[in-house]
Structure 1
Amino acid sequence: MTTELRVLDATEWDDWYGVLELAFGGVPESDEERKLWKDLTEPERSIGAWEGDRCVGTAGAFTFRLTVPGGAAVPAAGVTMVGVAGTHRRRGILTSMMRRQLDDVRAWGEPVAVLTASEPEIYGRFGYAVAAYSARATIDTTRVRLTVPEGTDEVALRYASPAEALDACEAVYARLVPGRPGMLERRPGWERLALLDPPGDREGASPRQCVLAERGGEVVGYARYAIKPEWSFNGSDGSVVLHQLAGLDPAAEAALWRFLCAVDLTSRVRIHDRPADDAWQHLVSDLRRCELTLRDGLYVRLVDVGAALEARTYQAPVDVVFEVEDAFCPWNTGRWRLSGDAKGASCVRTEDAPDLALSVRELGAVYLGGNSLVSLAAAGRVRELRAGALAEASVAFGSPVAPWLPHGF
């Protein structure tokens, strides 16, 4: 039968989402989780692949604003809920949905698309590249000590209900968003994600807990976490499972880390998603006993090369002509002159001789400052056509802080 792509009708959501659940293993979500995603879904930005009256493919795009180097919030499509029924694989359905979606994103005037990948190898052929990384660690708090900065003792901590503290925590989060590329402005409804805590997902841990950091009566930080009690013949061996932590200054952050590393009846702090350059790494006495690892986090795709590169700033002056290849979005293919500095940038079409040759994937990889053009060139993915252009552009595209996506979507 012929497969038809069409915009999702809100009345079809349950059937549409059921296909996605099946594509991800068929384990039913809790009612709480399912309702949240139903409420957050934007039907007019979602598409389904239908074979008659049966849905066989899904793809959505949230409306986001993404922080880029320089602090601007850039319109971005948050690609999500992508799945194809196992009975309809290898028929080009995914490719057709990605094609339709990127055409739509361009029509919406959003220069960037972003996603998190369940299978990283899938999205490269559509122009997406890893642009930000996620740090994971397990701090052995029986062996590791923290050295905290001056002022930490002036920060007061108190327990709070996660729901009752939500507004105060969101205010802290909002103040931090412009300071780190990859962070997302919180749109209405998304604050509920921080409270999502289905019992079936806890793996033996407690319900989510919250501690607020305060100074002079003002909330300057928070930590959301759970405790997983464990016991051995020798006694307690529990874990602190960190969900989110944020502080407005070094002392506030350090006070929260010190608290987490000293919770009674625990021997470790499990960290699942933090920035690659997170400050706790410089507080601990022995980084080896923290089992630090990195994995891919946020993937970026430049939908409009000119608009995307103009939207961010550059940490050093740059004037370079890119020869860009983009087979999937051919409107990006060609030569672009980028001129910019810390105050702003322009990126326009040009017939001038190119300085660097690369694909749109490499531009996505360096867009947030989390990868280096020099590193990509060493892998053969960027070619220098003018001596010195590679170093100039590589320095300019950097970011003083590592990009990081604070939550999935």
Structure 2
Amino acid sequence: MTIELRGLRDKEWDAWFSGLEWAFGGGVWAPEERALWRELTEIDRSIAAWDRDRIVGSFGSFSFRMTVPGGAVVPTAGVTAVSVAATHRRRGLLRRMMRSALEDIHAAGEPLAVLTASEQRIYGRFGYGVATRAMRASIDTARVRIAPPAGADDLTLSVLPPAEAAAHCEELYARLVPTRPGMLARQPGWEKLPLLDPPANRNGASELRCVLAERDGELMGYARYAMKPHWGEGAIPDGTVLVRDLTAADPAAYGALLRFLFEMDLMSTVVLSSRPVDDPLLHLVSDIRRCDLRIVDRLHLRTVDVGAALAARTYATEVDVVLAVEDELCPWNTGNWRLSGGPLGAVCERTTDPAELSFDVRALGAAYLGDASPLALAGAGLVRELRG
């Protein structure tokens, strides 16, 4: 039977999302989660695959804006809701949906596409490279101490319900977006996502709380967290502080917030997720071996328009190089590109000059935000030197 791809309609969203739930293991999302994702879904950027009267695949995109090296905030498609029914695998359906979506993203003038992957091995064959990694830390606070930077004692801390502090936290987040490649500017409605806290999802933890760090009335940092109490053998308190996010404008605010989280009564472990791999935490703790660090892939990135993407960012040193790119899914990228520029800006245009480097399209994505060096990628065979 022919499977038809067509744009999603409002009345089809519930069936579309239910199919997505089954594709991700059959768990039913809490009503609060489902309602928010219904609000955030961009219907006109969502695809449903139909086998007669049944949805057997889904694909969507969000209209994001992402910071790239140099501080520019660039239109970026956030790929989401990717699924194929178990009954319809190995028929090329995911490739069809991916190709269709990339054509639409290119037509919309978005030079980049990003996603977070449920399974890392899926997306490399579609040209996505691992562009950022995240660190998870589970810290034994009975044995690890924090040495906050100078100025941490000058900050005033207060704890509020997250909703009450949300507006000020969003202002600080927006101020920091240009400072780190890979940060996403919040689009309307997305400020609700960090506050989502369905009781059904707490798994024995408290409701979410928010601690603010202020200096002379100005917000300098915040952390959203929950506490999960536990009493060990002999009624010894052994709880866990679960940190959802921690954002700070300077080292003193970061140190003050981290110390607050470490010193909570009845808690003996602090778990931080989705931290940058260069997080200051690594240099503030007294014993890194007792922090149980784990590095995982985070943001997968694809260059949808090579010329526009490479021209949108800056480079640490002056560069003038011709790159050869092969791109099966986005054939408009295939060919030779001259990249020239430096710290003040760059230009990337088609050229007939011979190429000096050959980049696998995945390698472009992996190197784009600066997480992976071209030298490391060359060691994996994803970048090749053509001159010699």
Amino acid at match of 1:185: A
1:339 has 2:349 as partner: no
Amino acid at match of 1:74: V
Matching residue of 1:197: 197
1:52 has 2:56 as partner: no
Matching residue of 1:88: 88
1:281 has 2:282 as partner: yes
Matching residue of 2:13: 13
Residue 162 of structure 2 aligns to a residue in which SS?
Answer: coil
Residue 165 of structure 1 aligns to a residue in which SS?
Answer: helix
Matching residue of 2:375: 374
Distance 1:58 1:380 in 2: 33
Distance 1:284 1:236 in 2: 22
Distance 2:378 2:225 in 1: 41
Amino acid at match of 1:9: R
Q: Which moved more, 1:191-200 or 1:74-83?
A: 191-200
Residue 97 of structure 1 aligns to a residue in which SS?
Answer: helix
TM-superposed deviation, 1:252: 0.6
Matching residue of 2:161: 161
TM-superposed deviation, 1:220: 1.1
Aligned length: 387
Amino acid at match of 2:295: L
Alignment map for 1:351-390 (pairs within 5 Å)? 351-386=352-387
Distance 1:247 1:119 in 2: 31
Matching residue of 1:179: 179
Amino acid at match of 1:76: T
Ranges in structure 1 where 5+ consecutive residues have no aligned partner: 388-409
Alignment map for 1:110-121 (pairs within 5 Å)? 110-121=110-121
Distance 1:386 1:343 in 2: 27
Distance 1:339 1:331 in 2: 20
TM-superposed deviation, 1:385: 2.1
Amino acid at match of 1:263: M
1:152-176 deviation digits (Å, cap 9, x = unpaired): 1000100111001000110111111
Ranges in structure 2 where 5+ consecutive residues have no aligned partner: none
Distance 2:96 2:57 in 1: 10
Distance 2:88 2:358 in 1: 37
Calculate the aligned-residue CA RMSD, in Å: 0.8
Residue 163 of structure 1 aligns to a residue in which SS?
Answer: helix
Residue 183 of structure 1 aligns to a residue in which SS?
Answer: coil
**Runs of 4+ that moved beyond 2 A:** none
Distance 2:357 2:267 in 1: 52
Matching residue of 1:405: none
Distance 1:353 1:90 in 2: 39
Distance 1:357 1:175 in 2: 37
Distance 2:145 2:195 in 1: 31
Distance 1:207 1:324 in 2: 49
TM-superposed deviation, 1:200: 2.1
Q: Which moved more, 1:377-386 or 1:343-352?
A: 377-386
Amino acid at match of 1:276: V
Residue 59 of structure 1 aligns to a residue in which SS?
Answer: strand
Residue 13 of structure 2 aligns to a residue in which SS?
Answer: helix
Residue 34 of structure 2 aligns to a residue in which SS?
Answer: helix
TM-superposed deviation, 1:268: 1.0
Alignment map for 1:10-409 (pairs within 5 Å)? 10-234=10-234, 235-386=236-387
Distance 1:353 1:141 in 2: 57
Distance 2:135 2:387 in 1: 36
TM-superposed deviation, 1:67: 0.5
Amino acid at match of 1:174: A
Distance 1:319 1:289 in 2: 45
Residue 163 of structure 2 aligns to a residue in which SS?
Answer: coil
1:335-386 deviation digits (Å, cap 9, x = unpaired): 0000010110000001112111121111111000010100011112211123
Distance 2:30 2:332 in 1: 42
